[in-house]
């Protein structure tokens, strides 16, 4: 058996295959973009067949660069969460588009459930809220609106992205790990199993759903790359990044600024609950035992920079944002509330829309771009306030994701949050976490504590902004976001 760990990292806008040595070095990588489909306002879809084909191609390229399949000890998979796939168990082909986590099509259903008083009971059972973000609401919409799903009968398979990839890799193994299952609105947070009441509420056929398994172990085997390679690690991307940041002790916190922004605090082995509209979720499950996290989810982060570049034309490349932010001393009173696909935690307003306020004739594109970057720190501060109110305040923040390659933004986070911000030297912590799980699952490591040796140290940004300036900036943000949240 080889000693290299192959990670399939399936994101929202791209996917990549990365191969790690046990010491943490990445020795091969190959990436591909993923086509985004927007068939209508608030609708976001992917082609599951494209996800599989491009993931397979990326893996084959990376394996070739690393010296062949016989060098691979195990595979770890990490994925965009909540995105849901519907396929035919007989043909292995998709029956409908994959509904992406950003999709808002079930907003009216969620509003009706909330008005009927369903949310407190759902939150108590799942740790989640009634929002279009979560897979169960998407399943309910699909079962009501896509007749081919009911027509498929017992041939219907439903799963999140890692479940879909495992099915294709193994030729029919239907499993999901506990972290992804905990994001569906269908799993009892304490029991770790599918809930009959929730399956009925969201019209999810039990026979179509996968078996819930651990995040590490010998979970399946694939022969598609030649020989047999065990699949030994599975986790949703944000849980995987939290593991990759070595947040292994209760209270440790990470924030990932990718397409969206997601902050998770390790909550230990007792299921947490939030009174301030945060989420409770499974952080990992090993040997049938679950560790939990409290999470705050922001729907728009890196996608805001992409929107400024591709739709509005204010920038040509993402790195320009740092130069523009540094070119002005402040935003000149401009605030950008990036509710382009609703507001996430702690507001949970799926029908809110973005707003740009405080403009004058002296406003320039630099002010607008700086306001866009500042909104990341402001949204993080809103979450910090909610975490603190739930008894889970942060002492420091470990950050990752494409946006925090921007030194200005990392410093602004430290300034607005008034705490140290740590950025690792190796930024791909989501893939690293999946490699750590795969290493534990195949026996290269005795546990996550030993696997944490794969993580590299990096740069710490200390807060420099004075209290009065921080309060003034936050006061303007609160006024801007109140207008949007309504």
Q: Above 70 in pLDDT, residue 145?
A: yes
Mean pLDDT computed over 30-43: 90
For 363-413, the pLDDT digits (tens) are 999 999 999 999 999 999 999 999 999 888 999 999 998 888 899 999 999
pLDDT at 275: 87
pLDDT confidence tier of residue 349, bands split at 50, 70 and 90: confident
For 454-484, the pLDDT digits (tens) are 988 889 999 999 999 999 999 999 999 888 7
Please choose, from the candidates 91, 72, 199, the residue with its C-alpha nearest in 3D space to the C-alpha of residue 135: 199
Q: Above 70 in pLDDT, residue 442?
A: yes
pLDDT confidence tier of residue 426, bands split at 50, 70 and 90: confident
pLDDT at 210: 97
Q: Above 70 in pLDDT, residue 182?
A: yes
How far is Cα 355 from Cα 336, in angstroms, rounded to an integer?
6
481 touches 337 (CB < 8 A) = yes
What does pTM read for this prediction? 0.88
Mean pLDDT computed over 212-230: 94
pLDDT at 428: 85
pLDDT at 155: 96
Backbone angles phi, psi at 85, to 5 degrees: -120, 140
How far is Cα 403 from Cα 83, in angstroms, rounded to an integer?
22
Q: Above 70 in pLDDT, residue 486?
A: no
Which secondary structure element, helix H or strand E, spans residue 136, and what is its range? helix 135-145
Token pair for 121: 């009971």
pLDDT at 1: 62
pLDDT confidence tier of residue 276, bands split at 50, 70 and 90: confident
pLDDT at 254: 95
> Percent helix, strand and coil across the chain, each rounded to 5?
40, 25, 35
Q: Above 90 in pLDDT, residue 344?
A: no
Mean pLDDT computed over 168-178: 96
106 touches 78 (CB < 8 A) = no
Please choose, from the candidates 247, 233, 345, the residue with its C-alpha nearest in 3D space to the C-alpha of residue 292: 247
pLDDT at 60: 94
CA separation (Å) from 378 to 96, 162, 382, 411, 414? Answer: 38, 32, 6, 13, 11
Sign of the Cα torsion 60, 65, 71, 77 reads: negative
pLDDT confidence tier of residue 102, bands split at 50, 70 and 90: confident
Mean pLDDT computed over 341-350: 79
For 110-139, the pLDDT digits (tens) are 999 999 999 999 999 999 999 898 999 999
Q: So what's the architecture of 4-238 in CATH?
A: 2-Layer Sandwich (3.30)
Q: Which residue has the higher pLDDT, 346 or 27?
A: 27
pLDDT at 402: 83
**Neighbour order of strands in the sheet with 421-424:** 279-286, 289-298, 261-268, 253-257, 397-400, 421-424, 458-461
Mean pLDDT computed over 159-188: 96
Low-confidence winner among 40-44, 195-199, 324-328, 448-452 (lowest mean pLDDT): 40-44
Q: Above 90 in pLDDT, residue 13?
A: no
* DSSP 3-state of 332: coil
What percent of the chain stands above pLDDT 90? 81
Distance of CA 140 to the CA centre of its chain: 22
Distance of CA 22 to the CA centre of its chain: 25
Burial 386-421 (b: 16+ CB within 10 A, else e): bbeebebebeebbbbbbbbebebbbbbbbbbbebeb
Low-confidence winner among 84-88, 257-261, 391-395, 442-446 (lowest mean pLDDT): 257-261
């Amino acid at each position: 058996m080889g000693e290299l760990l192959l990670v399939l990292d399936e994101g929202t806008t791209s996917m990549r295959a990365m191969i790690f040595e046990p010491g943490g070095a990445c020795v091969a990588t190959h990436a591909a973009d993923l086509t985004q489909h927007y068939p209508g306002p608030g609708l976001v879809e992917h082609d599951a067949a494209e996800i599989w084909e491009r993931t397979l191609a990326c893996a084959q390229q990376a394996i070739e660069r690393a010296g062949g399949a016989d060098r691979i000890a195990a595979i770890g998979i990490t994925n965009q969460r909540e995105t849901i796939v519907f396929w035919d168990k007989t043909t292995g082909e998709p029956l409908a588009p994959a509904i992406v986590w950003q999709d808002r099509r079930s907003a009216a259903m969620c509003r009706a459930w909330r008005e009927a008083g369903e949310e407190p009971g759902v939150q108590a059972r799942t740790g989640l809220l009634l929002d279009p973000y979560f897979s169960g609401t998407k399943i309910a919409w699909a079962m009501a609106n896509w007749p081919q799903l009911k027509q498929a009968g017992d041939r219907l398979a439903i799963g999140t992205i890692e479940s879909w990839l495992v099915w294709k890799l193994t030729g029919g193994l239907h499993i999901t790990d506990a972290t992804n299952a905990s994001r569906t609105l269908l799993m009892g947070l304490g029991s770790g199993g599918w809930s009959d009441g929730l399956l009925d509420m969201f019209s999810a056929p039990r026979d179509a759903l996968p078996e819930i398994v651990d995040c590490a172990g010998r979970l399946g085997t694939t022969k598609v790359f030649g020989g047999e390679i065990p699949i030994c690690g599975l986790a949703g991307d944000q849980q995987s990044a939290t593991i990759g940041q070595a947040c292994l002790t209760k209270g440790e916190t990470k924030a990932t600024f990718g397409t969206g922004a997601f902050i998770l605090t390790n909550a230990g082995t007792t299921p947490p609950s939030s009174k301030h509209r945060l989420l409770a979720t499974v952080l990992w499950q090993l040997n049938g035992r679950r560790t939990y996290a409290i999470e705050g989810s922001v729907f728009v982060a890196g996608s805001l920079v992409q929107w400024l570049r591709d739709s509005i034309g204010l920038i040509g490349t993402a790195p320009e944002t740092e130069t523009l932010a540094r070119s002005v001393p402040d935003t000149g009173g401009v605030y950008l509330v990036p509710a382009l696909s609703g507001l996430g935690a702690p507001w949970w307003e799926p029908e809110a829309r973005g707003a740009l306020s405080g403009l004058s004739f002296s406003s320039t594109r630099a002010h607008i771009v700086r306001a866009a970057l500042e909104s990341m720190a402001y949204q993080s501060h809103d979450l910090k306030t909610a975490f603190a109110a739930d008894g889970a305040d942060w002492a420091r923040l470990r950050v990752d994701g494409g946006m925090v390659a921007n030194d200005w933004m990392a410093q602004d986070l430290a300034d607005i949050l008034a705490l140290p911000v740590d950025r690792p030297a190796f930024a791909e912590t989501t893939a690293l976490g999946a490699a750590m799980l795969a290493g534990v699952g195949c026996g290269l490591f005795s546990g996550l504590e030993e696997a944490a040796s794969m993580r590299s140290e990096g740069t710490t940004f200390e807060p420099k902004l004075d209290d009065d300036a921080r309060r003034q900036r936050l006061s303007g943000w609160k006024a801007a976001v109140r207008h949007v949240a309504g």
